[in-house]
Amino acid sequence: MNRMTKRILAVALTIFIAQFIIVAGYQALVAGQVNWTYIIISTLIMLLLVGTTAIANRRLEMIQENEEKNTAIPKD
């Protein structure tokens, strides 16, 4: 597993735990009951957004690196 994948997984896990605790705690304190379906679905959506954003950023970095390599090569 490369460094970028580990970083993506660490961020996703952190967001998963934070989202889960914050939403469950809020619902337990304010509503008096926890809507587990809502928590699970909203957490999965958040993980999906984080994952796709991380993948898109990585692809953008790869494209920029390739462009830099292509411009560094002198053309005859």
Question: In the chain, what percentage of residues exceed pLDDT 70?
Answer: 92
Spell out, as residue ranges, where the chain has pLDDT lower than 70: 1, 72-76
Which pLDDT score is estimated for 70?
80
Spatial contact of 34 and 28, defined as CB atoms under 8 Å apart: yes
Q: pTM value?
A: 0.62
Residues 6+ apart with CB under 8 A from 33: 27
Sort 60 into a burial class: Cβ within 10 Å, 0-12 / 13-18 / 19+: exposed
